Homo-oligomer: A and B are copies of this chain.
Amino acid sequence: MTGRLLTIGDEILVGQVVDTNAAWLGELMTGLGIRVDRADTVGDDRAAIVERLREGLRTAGVVVVTGGLGPTHDDVTKSAVMELFGVGSRFDEAVFEHVRARFERRGLAMAPSNRSQAEIPEGFEALPNPVGTAPGLWRGADGTHGILVVLPGVPHEMKTIAVGSLVPRLSSIEGRAAIVQRTLLTTGIGESALQERIRPVDHLLTDDVSLAYLPSIHGVRLRLTGRGPDPESATARLEALAGHVLQRAGRWVYGEGEDSLEGVVGRLLLDRAATVAVAESCTGGLVTHRLTNVPGASGWVKGSVVAYHNDVKRDGLGVPESVLDAHGAVSRETAVAMATGARHAVGADFGLATTGIMGPGGGTPDKPVGTVWIAVALPDGANRAVMLRLGTDRIRNKERAATGAIDLLRRALTGLVEDDPGFVA
């Protein structure tokens, strides 16, 4: 099946907003076995929308539209859809009740224009929007048109409706097998090394069971897909593959789906009622920033010292002058002394430290730009340290070093540090 994406909004065309929905939907549909062959953007212009929809529904199996829903856009997408099919709309009481209740819960008066959210074009089903007011719309294929799906442009709402209503429908439409997916999140191992590890189970991969590697700066996501005549058999195939993948690569898997590495670490710390303090040199605050992005982080982040200057490493963290002199600021010894110092200075159970050369300047032949040491100090006084060799881009280096540090803490919390051959411990 061929898929087509259509994003609607003047704000995209004039460059005020970057369209991230198309990439997210492209990945989702690719995972469902739908080949997206085009992604178009048009403005809030009814004629242009009708023209694009007409062309798309004639040549593609499914067209997914985002944006142009809701009162602020004058419902331009809905009226385009009604014009295209020559239909009116019906007032959907269930949708209206949802909108009304939503305003009531927040103690807000509902503007009359919100009534229009409950106007559903004839021939369409409303897809529930649990996190907003504009419902999604679904129209099945007929003899001349492919499936048409309309979703709000707000990414959070779009994703919630897509996962809750679109994936099950696309997976179960007539003539297609049931499809189930899991996405395992890995970090600390490159794509090719990960493939090397998983390769022995490649014989499990068939038309019904597939595995995609999705690399990014923070790690490789593994998207596992199972297909079958019904959801049960699809799930059974998926789980068989997942079991084998986890057996071979589980130590690099930190979470699943929408998990974040820092959220996982936060749960691990909360579970044991432990706290962490960070000593950051080269990451310059980024590790703590990411940890404190997690709601409720104040329950397990005690505080940090960003020791950009050696003075601060010495006076703020108690790194001995002799260690700095003998080994330099970027060394295993300094990283360990910083992690230990953070534990004591801040008064936390775990200490985490980063020190390195992020570039563009500051490299030496011995310690080129991209050399980073990270260390974790454990509650029992022991510690672990690891060296990373990163690239030359300052911003990317900071991101990768922060991910490495947070993952080192995760490994320490799950007992995975010691037997890890990838670590210089």
Interface residues of A (CB under 8 A from B): 12-20, 22-28, 30, 36-43, 45, 48, 214, 278, 280, 283-289, 291-293, 295-298, 301-309, 311-312, 315-316, 345-347, 359-362, 394-395, 398
Question: Can you report 15 residue pairs joining A to B where beta carbons are below 8 Å apart?
Answer: A12-B39, A13-B37, A14-B27, A18-B18, A38-B40, A284-B297, A285-B287, A285-B306, A286-B289, A292-B398, A293-B394, A296-B361, A298-B362, A302-B308, A305-B305
Q: A303–B342 Cα gap in the complex (Å)? A: 14
Given contacts A15-B24, A291-B284, contact A298 B304 (CB under 8 A): no
- Expressed in whole angstroms, the minimum distance between the Cβ of A39 and any Cβ of chain B is 4
> Which chain B residues lie closer than 8 Å to A311 at the CB level?
302-303, 347
How many monomers of this chain does the complex have?
A: 2
Q: Is the interface of A mostly helix, strand, loop or mixed?
A: mixed
Q: A287–B398 Cα gap in the complex (Å)? A: 14
> Which chain B residues lie closer than 8 Å to A17 at the CB level?
23
A309 with B304: CB separation less than 8 A: no
A23 with B12: CB separation less than 8 A: yes
B345 with A316: CB separation less than 8 A: yes
Given contacts A40-B38, A293-B395, A306-B288, contact A23 B28 (CB under 8 A): no
- Expressed in whole angstroms, the minimum distance between the Cβ of A213 and any Cβ of chain B is 10
Which of chain B's residues has its CB closest to A307's CB? B303
Which of chain B's residues has its CB closest to A51's CB? B38
B48 with A43: CB separation less than 8 A: no
Q: A347–B309 Cα gap in the complex (Å)? A: 10
Q: Which 4 A-B pairs have the closest CB atoms?
A: A284-B292, A15-B27, A285-B288, A285-B285
Apart from the given pairs A38-B43, A284-B297, 12 other A-B contacts in the complex at a CB distance below 8 Å = A13-B37, A15-B24, A280-B285, A280-B288, A285-B285, A285-B291, A288-B308, A295-B360, A295-B394, A296-B361, A303-B312, A312-B347
Which of chain B's residues has its CB closest to A301's CB? B308
A308 with B292: CB separation less than 8 A: yes
Given contacts A23-B18, A214-B16, A305-B304, contact A346 B312 (CB under 8 A): yes
> Which chain B residues lie closer than 8 Å to A283 at the CB level?
289
Given contacts A12-B26, A15-B24, contact A303 B291 (CB under 8 A): no
B295 with A285: CB separation less than 8 A: no
A316 with B293: CB separation less than 8 A: no
Partner of A28, one of B15, B291, B398: B15
